[in-house]
Amino acid sequence: MGIDSGQEGEEEEWLGISGKRGEEREDWDYEHLVREIEGEDEKEFNADAVEAPKHTNPFDNDQTYCVFKAALARLDESGQIPLGYGVHPLEWDEDGYPALGSIHCGQKGSKMLEVALPDSVWRPRSV
């Protein structure tokens, strides 16, 4: 299990590991090598679980939710697009519908993640 140089029968040594291509060494403890690699990888790939964000219902009761839902349905039926959400044509720059959107992320929301907003995908879903 030496380093493969690509040439049959060539021998190469790397960090004390040597051998010929295609040759298996009987004196190697492969199980120990596998456990050692697993131990090194464990700290990188098995990170501690992250606590899920808390979710709260913004509505005090079912009646408030029903009023909101009815108002939203009426707005949708009217075809009007409200200002303040970045989807109204008056809110766009001269290039039209924005190609990128920003999402606050991180523990304190201080980092910004830029997300591609292909017009054909996102605009129909946003209005």
pLDDT classification of 1: cutoffs 50, 70, 90: very low
Tens-digit pLDDT profile for residues 10-34: 555 555 555 555 555 666 677 887 8
Using an 8 Å Cβ cutoff, are 117 and 99 in contact? yes
Per-residue confidence (pLDDT) for residue 48, from 0 to 100: 73
- C-alpha distance from residue 6 to each of 11, 14, 63, 111 (Å): 10, 15, 73, 47
Secondary structure letter of residue 84 according to DSSP = T
Phi/psi at 104 (5° precision): -75, 135
Helical H segments across 27-111, by residue range: 30-45, 62-78
Tens-digit pLDDT profile for residues 90-125: 988 888 888 888 888 887 778 888 988 888 887 787
**Percent of the chain's residues with pLDDT above 70:** 73
Say which residues have a Cβ less than 8 Å from residue 97's Cβ, sequence separation at least 6: 117, 119, 122, 123
Per-residue confidence (pLDDT) for residue 106, from 0 to 100: 82
104 membership: H or E segment, kind and range: strand 100-105
Give pTM, 2 decimals: 0.39
